[in-house]
Amino acid sequence: MTAFREPRSTAPALPQERGEVSSAVIASLRGGRQVLPGRQRISHCEPYGDDLQLALYVLYELHYQGFDGVDEEREWDPALLQLRQGLEERFLCALRAQVPGAGRADDALARILVEPAEGDGGSSVSHYLRDHGSLTHLREYAALRSLYHLKEADPHAWLIPRLHGPAKAAMVAVEFDEFGAGRSEDIHARLFADLMADLHLDTAYGRYLDAAPTEALAPVNLMSLLGLHRVLRGAAVGHFAALEVTSSPGSRRLAQAMRRLGAGRAAERFYDEHVEADAVHEQVVRHEVIAPLLDAEPHLTADVAFGVEATGLLEDRLGDLLLRAWRGDRTALRTALPEPAGSAMP
């Protein structure tokens, strides 16, 4: 049996640029001395476009694993932070313009507690993978989701010092599970790396960044954005709640997809684990994190609602991209995955 190699044991390489802003950021991190784009240039960036989302992703990654050959001191470089602030404002303004305003947390949560209709079995990505997907589709999905799942609980951990009392205690309890309850082999990011190995994917952290379309970058950027700003703590709790509420039923369908296609025991285990764990986490987050948080800070209810709705918006954009590509018999990645050596893919 091959020894497990921790995906984050080494820093990833810097990605390929996708436009003027991301090019300037990446060149700067490589040691260049060019002037970084100002607010006027940023104001012309498509908020959900490749250039802005990649630039944000790279800047956020300095707070996680960093990049090979990039000085760790750059994490707090004032010029990069100023640029990041401008990109964040552009991204947030677009989200706030599309997400229903001044909502209540209870109403936002009630909307996502309703499961999508079964319909033709393809109403969501998990429905499609369960009923129609191929092993190629599963591999693409896992490659894209690795950008999130290999750092799964980390951005939400930034919430812990921003909560207090019962909300903090409940948040720590959920995070304890996410981090393997003290067992490194059960850390959810490790379980996802095992899933990737079953699917013959490279488990190296950040390996599929260049292949990921902007629709896959934006959901990861959202959780980093919300986690890094204390003023957005309510929205970060809403984001966390949205993921936990929707995870269990979707994970059940994905586990069924893994079994139908013979993806492997580790691939099945990751989603089986989330069916049970996230059904519990949903209740804890709703009743033991959000409720005491809003008892203490009722003015955050609209922020919690925003976090729920913004998460749904970006997840829907990614889902639409995946389903359009797969139904059109196209890859959803910017560059198609190579097939495993000696493997016939359905």
- pLDDT-based confidence at residue 345 (cuts at 50, 70, 90): very low
Asked if residue 57 has pLDDT above 90, the reply is yes
Geometric angle at alpha carbon 319, from 316 and 321, rounded to 5°: 110
CA atoms within 13 A on the CB side of 317: 17
Domain with CATH 1.20.910.10 in the chain: 105-327
pLDDT for residue 13? 96
Residues 6+ apart with CB under 8 A from 49: 19, 214
* pLDDT recorded at residue 4: 72
Instruction: Record the tokens describing residue 102, joined without a space.
Output: 């001044």
Q: Which two tokens mark 295?
A: 């008892």
Between CA 21 and CA 204, with CA 65 as vertex, the angle to 5 degrees is 100
- Which range (41-45, 99-103, 109-113, 259-263) has the least confidence? 99-103
* Closest listed residue to residue 14, CA positions, set 86, 68, 75, 60: 68
DSSP state of 14: P
Q: Are 158 and 228 spatial neighbours (Cβ–Cβ below 8 Å)? A: yes
Lowest model confidence (mean pLDDT) among 2-11, 61-70, 80-89, 179-188: 2-11
Q: 6: how many CB neighbours lie within 10 A of its CB?
A: 14
- Would you tell me how many other CB atoms lie within 10 Å of the CB of residue 229? 15
Report long-range pairs for 99-103 (Cβ below 8 Å, ≥24 apart): 99/306, 99/309, 99/310, 99/313, 100/305, 100/309, 101/302, 102/302, 103/302, 103/305, 103/306, 103/309
DSSP state of 288: I
What pLDDT does residue 245 have? 85
pLDDT computed for residue 58 by the predictor: 98
Q: Which fold has domain 105-327?
A: Heme Oxygenase; Chain A (1.20.910)
- Residues in contact with 79: Cβ distance below 8 Å, sequence separation at least 6, in sequence order: 28, 36
pLDDT band at 234 (very low <50, low <70, confident <90, very high): very high
Please choose, from the candidates 129, 131, 127, 103, the residue with its C-alpha nearest in 3D space to the C-alpha of residue 117.
Answer: 127
Residue 343: pLDDT band (50, 70, 90) is: low
Above 80 in pLDDT, residue 3? no
Q: Hey, what amino acid is at 331?
A: T
Residue 259: burial class (beta carbons within 10 Å; 0-12, 13-18, 19+): middle
Average pLDDT over residues 278-301: 90
CA pair distance 87, 224, nearest whole angstrom: 13
H runs (alpha helix) in the chain: 20-29, 39-42, 50-61, 78-98, 105-112, 125-131, 135-149, 154-157, 165-178, 188-198, 214-228, 233-260, 265-284, 291-296, 301-327
For the chain, what's the residue count? 346
Residue 124 has which token pair? 């969501």
> What's the CA angle centered on 151, arms 148 and 157, to 5 degrees?
115
At 275 the pLDDT is 85
What's the pLDDT score for residue 271?
92
- Residues 53, 217: contact at Cβ < 8 Å? yes
